[in-house]
Structure 1
Amino acid sequence: MEKIFENKVAIVTGGSFGIGQAAALAFAVSGAKVVIADLVEDKEQATLKQIEAAGGEALFVKCDVSAAGDITAMIDKTFSAYGRLDFAFNNAGIEGVSAPTHECTQDNWERTLAVNLTGIWLCMKHELPHMLRQGKGAIVNCASVAGLIGFPGLPAYVASKHAVVGLTRTAALENAKSGVRINAVCPGVIRTAMIDRITGKDKAVEQQFANMEPVGRFGEPGEVAEAVVWLCSDAASFVTGHALPVDGGWIAS
Structure 2
Amino acid sequence: MTADFAGKTVLITGAAAGIGRAIAFAAAREGARLVLGDVDAAGLDETVASAELKGIEVISACCDVRSQDDLDSLFAKSAAGFGHPDVVYANAGILGQPADVWAQSEADFQRHIDINLVGTWRTFKAALPKMIERKSGVLVATASVAGLVGASGLAAYVASKHAILGLVKSTALNVAKHGIRVNALCPHMVDTPMLDRLFGGDAAIREALKAMNPMGRNASCEEVAEAALFLGSSRSGYITGTHLAVDGGHIAQ
Q: Match for 1:188: what amino acid?
A: H
> Normalised by the size of structure 1, how large is the TM-score?
0.96
Contact 1:147 1:186 (8 Å CA) reproduced: yes
Q: Match for 2:58: what amino acid?
A: A
Please give the alpha-carbon distance, in whole angstroms, between the structure 2 residues aligned to 1:194 and 1:106: 22
Whether 2:120 is the aligned partner of 1:104: answer no
Match of 2:79 in 1: 79
Q: Assess, with a 3 A threshold, how the Cα gap between structure 1 residues 44 and 138 changes in structure 2: closer, same or farther.
A: closer
Runs of 5+ in structure 1 lacking a partner?
Answer: none
User: How far 1:2 moved relative to its partner?
Assistant: 3.0
Per-residue CA distance 1:125-148 (angstroms, 9 max, x = gap): 110111111111101000001000
Matched-pair identity in %: 40
Runs of 5+ in structure 2 lacking a partner?
Answer: none
Please give the alpha-carbon distance, in whole angstroms, between the structure 2 residues aligned to 1:23 and 1:139: 13
Match of 1:10 in 2: 10
Q: Assess, with a 3 A threshold, how the Cα gap between structure 1 residues 43 and 156 changes in structure 2: closer, same or farther.
A: closer
User: How far 1:164 moved relative to its partner?
Assistant: 0.3
**SS in structure 2 opposite 1:65?**
coil
User: How far 1:44 moved relative to its partner?
Assistant: 7.6
Contact 2:15 2:44 (8 Å CA) reproduced: no
Mapping of residues 41-52 of structure 1, within 5 Å: 41-42=41-42, 45-52=45-52
Contact 2:96 2:198 (8 Å CA) reproduced: no
Please provide the CA RMSD for this pair.
Answer: 1.3
Match of 1:40 in 2: 40
Contact 2:75 2:84 (8 Å CA) reproduced: no
Please give the alpha-carbon distance, in whole angstroms, between the structure 1 residues aligned to 2:41 and 2:246: 27
Please give the alpha-carbon distance, in whole angstroms, between the structure 2 residues aligned to 1:216 and 1:61: 38
Match of 2:161 in 1: 161
Match of 2:248 in 1: 248
Please give the alpha-carbon distance, in whole angstroms, between the structure 2 residues aligned to 1:104 and 1:25: 36
- Runs of 4+ aligned residues of structure 1 deviating over 4 Å after TM superposition are none
Per-residue CA distance 1:80-104 (angstroms, 9 max, x = gap): 1112210000000001232011111
**SS in structure 2 opposite 1:251?**
helix
Q: Match for 2:104: what amino acid?
A: C
**SS in structure 1 opposite 2:186?**
strand
Per-residue CA distance 1:168-194 (angstroms, 9 max, x = gap): 011011112211000000000000011
Per-residue CA distance 1:12-46 (angstroms, 9 max, x = gap): 00001000000011111111111110000126823
User: How far 1:4 moved relative to its partner?
Assistant: 3.0
> Normalised by the size of structure 2, how large is the TM-score?
0.96
The number of residues matched between the two structures is 253
